[in-house]
Chain A
Amino acid sequence: MSPTEPGAAAPVYDVPGPRTDPAPLRDAAARRPRGLGRGSGLLRSELRTTFLRGRTLVMLAVLAAVPVLVGVAVRFETGGDEGGAGAGPAFIAQVTHNGLFLVFTALAATLPVFLPMAVGVVAGDAIAGEAATGTLRYLLVAPAGRVRLLLVKYATTLAFCLVATLTVAGSALAVGALLFPLGKVTLLSGTTVPLVEGLLRAVAVAVAVAVSLVGVAALGLFVSTLTNSGIAAMATTVGLVITVQILNAVPQLEMIQPYLFSHYWLSFADLLRSPVEWSDLLSNVGLQGLYAAVFGSAAWARFTTRDITV
């Protein structure tokens, strides 16, 4: 009973296309170059699954709401002492003069907590969430391939870092344009540049903020390979984010602080100087790359050897 006998195939598999005899399809498939199309199917599926998920949309909505709150507060709190913006570059004082500064204000406000928390949720859930629902075993026997699945999960988490940052920036720009005047931008170094250049610098700032999240994403993915509970992985990652921020604020721990992933986070403000001060920005990129390499390798080592018992 050779299943490849012509015409012997079950009629249910007779779908449109060359299906009655499986051989031609297989040959056609073998001839097709392995480019986009089939190898990337999992990445597209993962992006769709992540970004159309209710939880993701809620997090993005919350992120988009932050600039609205800040913008409305600044607009209607017309008191004179706006300068008390606390730590970080004092963008908030500038918002009333130029709505573009709401972008920088909103990014500075969300980078310490909201953004890494959202990234921690997505990264922490990446593998552990699939394990918790049991779908991990079906992806692996499909076979997704462990390395491929891990890479797809990391790529999707990085995409989320960028989308989340752009959501904050985009919302801030819209609110800023609506509530405040837009115009020439006075940089932190005192020079004034045209609005277009200011917008370009805003895009660069958003990218710098997204890059700042690369380390958290890798850390979260590693944590995600350690457990079968999505909730535990998310909570652990978010807990680590908060712990690191606290450590970074304790003066006595100065010697370890350059190695904390949040150490250079506010370096994005250096993009608003003329000329741009690259040293901290580049240190940030290097540090995030280091985290990605270390925790990416750890995640790989763990995930490729782990027994999937759920």
Chain B
Amino acid sequence: MGTSTTSEPETVIATRDLTKRFRGGQLAVDRLDLTVPRGSVFGFLGPNGSGKTTTIRMLMGLIEPTSGSTALLGRPMPVEAGRVLPEVGALIEGPALYGFLSGRANLARIDAADPTSEPRTRRARVDTALKRVGLAAAATKKARAYSLGMKQRLGLAAALLKPRSLLVLDEPTNGLDPQGMREIRALIRELAADGTTIFLSSHLLDEIEQVCTHAAVMSQGRLLTQGPVADLAAGARGRLVVTTPDPGEAARVLEVHGVHGITVSGPRVTGHPPAVDPPDLADLNAALVRSGVRVRSFAIEGTSLEEAFVALTGEGFHVSD
């Protein structure tokens, strides 16, 4: 909302060979080509230290790229920051507040910093944003008395001061309790339904799976993959899990049928079905039964983003470099 409808670009974020090498020589972001389609809820994943935050800061014009280019809403950044950023709401690396100001005064100040925002509607917009994140009751309280969750909500409210074309949310549910997380996810879905493109970084994979339509995975400054979430998850091969009182025999039969990486723990036998020419799972089950294996359960588990992520990065999600 709030953009000229005539020339809405289909790609909201586009980076080309985006690279940042810090003065110490550390390569934080390495030739990144990121494409975020309009109307998507785009999950930005990666272990800590993978360059997500540096990328977000370059997108927002806070850090100058060493080389490469960035375009937001079809306009080059940071050259046209003054025209682009009023349409972009952002929560970057957690909220930052003036502790000596009330929640309402904090938002009014951020709004005043935007030269395109209308001062006459400021009060009303601030109150609407506070209400939207559930902070209306704490509007006059000094921000230093806010809990972590309330600060996070206030940071979100700052991103919602105006109708935006793009929201860049870095870990938006950080510090929130489960109920607060659900509320924020519902808010994100609501905003997405209004047509706002949402670029969301998170360390919670199920959060990305729940709300995102697209995702990108970064590791050590490089983009490993990007695309619709369904495609990414499908790309990961699931794990076959069989529970049986005859695990030894089950493992033998599965191996004969090409299942590899078999592990047995108690009554649980797991393994990966062959990638090329996979057998019909029903035949596999029938083969087990024919060999006298008493099958309690038979299932494919973990065709999830997490599997995809582990397969791509070769490491657990919470690993920092």
Contacts and interface: CB of A to CB of B under 8 A. Distances in A.
A15 B101 contact: no
Given A4-B1, A142-B85, A308-B57, A49 B118 contact: no
Interface of A: 1-4, 8-10, 12-13, 15-17, 19, 22, 25-26, 29, 37-39, 41-42, 44-45, 49, 53-54, 133-135, 137-145, 148-149, 305, 307-309
Nearest to B124: A15
B85 A143 contact: yes
B115 interface: yes
Interface of B: 1-3, 5, 39, 57, 60-64, 81-82, 85-86, 88, 90, 92-101, 108-121, 124-125, 127-128, 131-132, 155, 158, 163, 165, 190-191, 193-196
A1 B124 CA distance: 26
A92 to B, nearest CB: 38
B96 A141 contact: no
A37 to B, nearest CB: 6
A12 B163 CA distance: 10
A38 B124 contact: no
A79 to B, nearest CB: 45
Contacts of A137: 57, 60, 62, 92-93, 96
A76 to B, nearest CB: 39
A145 B78 CA distance: 11
A274 to B, nearest CB: 47
Contact of B2 (A22, A49, A141): A22
A2 B62 contact: no
A41 B2 CA distance: 21
Contacts of A2: 5, 195
B113 A42 contact: yes
A135 to B, nearest CB: 5
A49 B143 CA distance: 14
A-B pairs with the 3 shortest C-beta distances? A134-B96, A3-B195, A15-B124
A37 B117 CA distance: 10
Contacts, number: 144
B116 A29 contact: yes
B175 to A, nearest CB: 14
11 contacts: A3-B195, A10-B191, A15-B124, A15-B127, A17-B121, A143-B61, A143-B86, A145-B81, A305-B64, A307-B62, A309-B63
A53 B101 CA distance: 9
B194 A10 contact: yes
Contacts of A41: 111-113, 115, 117, 119
Contact of A1 (B88, B117, B120, B195): B195
B100 A53 contact: yes
Contacts of B117: 38, 41
Contacts of A1: 39, 193-195
Nearest to B23: A307
A138 B119 contact: no
A145 B2 contact: no
B97 A42 contact: no
Given A2-B195, A45-B109, A308-B62, A144 B114 contact: yes
A142 B121 contact: no
A3 B115 contact: no
Contacts of A10: 190-191, 194
A49 B195 contact: no
Contact of A3 (B116, B158, B194): B194
A9 B1 contact: yes
Nearest to B191: A10
Nearest to A45: B112
Contacts of B125: 13, 15
B128 A12 contact: yes
A184 B230 CA distance: 89
Contacts of A15: 121, 124-125, 127-128
Nearest to B8: A2
Given A135-B98, A143-B81, A39 B115 contact: yes
B112 A42 contact: yes
A7 B190 CA distance: 15
A12 B131 contact: yes
A45 B132 CA distance: 24
A134 B97 CA distance: 8
A88 to B, nearest CB: 37
A133 B97 contact: yes
A307 B101 contact: no
